[in-house]
Amino acid sequence: MAPVLCRLLERVGHGAFGVVWRARQRAVDREVAVKIARSAVANDPTFIRRFEVDAQRIARIEHPHVVPLYDFWRDPDGAYLVMRFMQGGSMRDLLERSELPTGAVRLRMALQITEALAAAHELGVIHGDITSSNVLLDEHANAYLTDFGITGSATVVEPSLTADAPARSGATWAITWRPWGPGTGGWTSGGSP
């Protein structure tokens, strides 16, 4: 069904969930990313029960640094997510090329992701799988959080972010939720070049 609503242009990634394509969303003529779940995932009874509820919950997160979910559907051939296509790739891509951003840019990115996480938490959504692969970049090196647990990873209570950079880079970047008291808490972040 994906080719009817979206014209698939180029395979740009893959993972446990399935395959990610750069595509053209026909109805509004915009470039998008289409994630197509593997049929084994899409037809799993647990996945089927959670898919629509999780997708609706994630689509409610309105924040400038959360990759927006434009559309979703499931059919016998798979499950589909249509999202904003990020021109800059992922933080993981950047780190694998050893193209570490400057300290000021890293700080800006950390703040952007921290604010995105806070917006999600206000809606009761806990990411649970924050890695450099789930931090996407635009063409201006702004950071955007994606992959909010459609496959069930959004259940972790205390998430943390660690850039899984290659050991040769020596870079570390961490954002950690620290509870301050009953019902309250805050983000702490830090890193080294």
- Please compute the mean of the pLDDT values over residues 41-57 and round it to a whole number: 83
CATH of the domain at 60: 3.30.200.20
The residues facing 184 across adjacent strands are 181
The answer on 102 and 66 residing in a single domain is no
pLDDT in tens, 8-35: 999 998 877 789 999 999 999 999 999 8
What b/e readout covers 58-79, taking b as 16+ CB neighbours within 10 angstroms? bbebebebbbbbbbbebeeebb
The letter for the amino acid at 96 is E
Q: What is the pTM of this model?
A: 0.73
List the catalytic residue out of 44, 71, 129, 138.
129
Q: 3-state DSSP call for residue 29?
A: coil
Which structural domain range is residue 69 located in?
2-84
Q: How many domains is the chain built from?
A: 2
Q: Are 97 and 168 in contact (CB under 8 A)?
A: no
Is residue 129 annotated as a catalytic residue, yes or no? yes
The answer on 74 and 39 residing in a single domain is yes
Average pLDDT of the chain is 78
pLDDT value, residue 50: 82
The answer on 95 and 80 residing in a single domain is no
Instruction: State the Cα–Cα distance between residues 141 and 43, nearest whole angstrom.
Output: 37
The answer on 132 and 48 residing in a single domain is no
pLDDT in tens, 73-132: 888 778 898 999 999 999 999 889 988 888 899 999 999 999 999 999 888 888 878 888
Nearest to 14 by CA among 30, 40, 38, 31: 38
